[in-house]
Amino acid sequence: MAGTQSTRPADFPERTEVAIIGAGIAGCATAYFLAKAGVPVVVLEKGRIAGEQSSRNWGWVRKQGRDPRELPAIIESLKIWPTLEQEIEADIGWKQAGVTYVATTQAQMARFEEWLGFAKPYQLDSRLLSPKETDEMLGTSGERTLGALHTPSDGRAEPAKVVPAIAKAIERMGGRIIEGCAVRTLDIEAGRVTGVVTEHGRIAASSVLCAAGAWSALFNRNLGITLPQLRVRSSVLRTRPAPLVTESATWCGTFAFRRRQDGGYTIAGDGGSTFEIVPDAFRFFRPFFNALKMSRKDLRIRISGEFFRQLAMPKRWGPDDVTPFERTRVLDPDPDAAELAKALAAARATLPGFVDLQMEESWAGMIDVTPDVIPVLCAVDQPKGYFIATGFSGHGFGLGPGAGLLMSELIMKGEARVDLSAFRLGRFFDGTRMTPYAPI
Ligand SMILES: Cc1cc2nc3c(=O)[nH]c(=O)nc-3n(C[C@H](O)[C@H](O)[C@H](O)COP(=O)(O)OP(=O)(O)OC[C@H]3O[C@@H](n4cnc5c(N)ncnc54)[C@H](O)[C@@H]3O)c2cc1C
């Protein structure tokens, strides 16, 4: 469906209560809780359901190591995950088998202890493992580890299954999801949103949520709303079925792995991602300065044809113009083969149970990142009735159901059960210091 014209569905709706832009986990989880509350909702997706980040991620669902500002929201999310399969009547590969970060340096152990301090008020089950306990978990023998941070109540799910299953549940409750339908812009009257303009025509709506993932900055720029957001490319591989080492999703310094439902593992490199320099990098240099400084070790910075592709991309358009969203139905970047070969070699060399691991498939995703590496979850001041849920900065899969619940409350009642002020859009412009948090 790359950059093709799509056909207008015969029963294209003329109106709804809430229109949602983007059928990733943020858009679909919000639609799910709205539909459950009886609110008419239509989700509009330029490509296919969860075609971008939400099906390409590692599948980790974790409180562990979260930015302290995200803890109340992820705690709400982890109340939803354990019963989601029953609620939506589908197998999504949920397993509450913990998350573990292994330390190979004293500095990492100190960071883990510091994070436990941030988590203390929430009485989580996170704790430090001794080197012996870590070895027992990983089947290793001594010398390498200094211990680990472990949270038994964290979990994992199959990214390819979760959002399509939520989408089916939305439809069973009377909500609509329309694939191959890009939203071009908003309809606005007297400072209030009155609907969306799509490639197939207008849909009137009282509220609109932008959950457009890595496209949110571009969509909002056309409306005159600045959203500092950049994209980084992150590569992943999956292996053939292999013996069980541990059920816990585990970060080992040079690689990270998660047991898959098919008996293989999802594996990625040391958390490092590739940032291709694009025109927005210059536009947003100031707000991103701290994030870039902090991740200079992990981030491979490159210049490629993407710079000129984005330079040539239209930044402004009207409701009748074909937009960049119709030209790229699904963002499908090439994985970094060298980075993945390194990760696989590290996995084979580190864990005795992984010596014979064989790669089956690889892929990449474009992660949308904000300057402080936490999302934007808010109502926009102008136009009224417009909401944003985006910028999950590489950890929105686990947060997705919680973010959906909180956004549905914000849209329906004007407030959510968790204080969302840390996630307001205005923080980028009111002098708030952009301090990203990294636990490892
Ligand atoms: C390799 C990788 C590993 C990751 N690992 C983890 C992990 O283990 N745990 C974790 O919690 N998170 C992880 N993440 C992050 C997580 O996947 C994302 O934060 C989350 O999926 C973001 O969801 P979203 O709904 O905001 O965006 P997306 O899933 O990207 O969805 C946005 C959707 O909006 C659509 N769209 C955009 N513009 C328009 C438009 N104008 N009209 C219509 N549709 C539009 C897009 O086509 C897309 O489908 C990882 C991400 C990657 C790439």
DSSP 280-301: HHHHTHHHHHHHHHHTTTTPEE
User: pLDDT of 195-212, one tens digit each?
Assistant: 999 999 999 999 999 999
CA distance 403 to 407: 6
CA of 239 to the centre of ligand 1 (A): 23
Beta bridge partners of 196: 186, 203
Chain segment 268-305, per-residue pLDDT in tens: 997 556 777 777 777 777 787 777 777 666 667 777 77
* Beta-bridge partners for 362: 237
Going by C-alpha positions, the residue among 72, 69, 394, 70 that lies closest to residue 256 is: 394
Place of tokens 């499908």: 332
Q: Which of 32, 54, 203 to mutate to test the pocket of ligand 1 (most atoms within 8 A of CB)?
A: 54
| Interval between CA 213 and ligand 1 midpoint (Å) | 5
Structure tokens at 405: 């619940």
According to the model, what pLDDT value does residue 296 have?
Answer: 64
Mutate to test the pocket of ligand 1, among 6, 56, 57 (most ligand atoms within 8 A of CB): 57
Amino acid at 437: Y
Question: How far is the C-alpha of 55 from the C-alpha of 156, rounded, in Å?
Answer: 13
Residue nearest to atom 38 of ligand 1 (CA): 212
* Distance between Cα 120 and ligand 1 center (Å): 30
Residues sharing a CB contact under 8 Å with residue 294, sequence separation 6 or more, in sequence order: 436, 438
pLDDT of residue 13: 98
Cα(248)–Cα(174) distance, integer angstroms: 37
Is the preceding peptide bond at 72 cis, omega within 30 degrees of 0? no
Question: Ligand 1: residues whose CB is within 6 Å?
Answer: 21-27, 44-47, 50-54, 56-60, 182-183, 211-215, 219, 234, 236, 325, 365, 367, 390, 392, 394-398
Helix (H) / strand (E) element for 20: namely: strand 18-21
Cα separations (Å) of 296 from 20, 182, 240, 272, 276? 35, 35, 33, 10, 13
Ligand 1 nearest atom to the CA of residue 249, by list position: 8
Which token pair is 344? 């696989």
Is-contact 150 248, C-beta < 8 A?
yes
Q: Return d(Cα 206, Cα 41) in angstroms, integer.
A: 10
Asked if residues 259 and 156 have their Cβ atoms less than 8 Å apart, the reply is: yes
pLDDT score of 299: 67
Phi, psi of 221 (to 5 degrees): -60, -40
Instruction: Report residue 420's pLDDT band, with 50, 70 and 90 as the boundaries.
Output: very high
- Nearest 5°: phi and psi at 393? 55, 40
Q: Which residues pair with 269 in a beta bridge?
A: none
Q: Share the mean pLDDT of the chain.
A: 94
DSSP states of 41-70 = EEEE-SSSTT-SHHHHS--EE--TT--GGG
Query: Nearest C-alpha to atom 53 of ligand 1 is from which residue?
Result: 365
Q: How many CA atoms lie within 13 A of 190 on its CB side?
A: 0
Local confidence band at 141 (pLDDT 50, 70, 90 cut-offs): confident
For the segment 64-92, the average pLDDT, to the nearest whole number, is 98
By the 8 A CB rule, do 96 and 82 touch? yes
Count the helices and strands in the chain (H runs, E runs): 13, 21
Residue 262 CB-half CA count within 13 A: 12
pLDDT in tens, 313-366: 888 999 999 999 999 999 999 999 999 999 999 999 999 999 999 999 999 999
Residue nearest to atom 20 of ligand 1 (CA): 396
pTM tops 0.85: yes
**pLDDT at position 302:** 72
Higher pLDDT, 19 or 290: 19
β-bridge partners, 95: 156
Which of 30, 53, 170, 183 to mutate to test ligand 1, by most ligand atoms within 8 A of the CB atom? 53
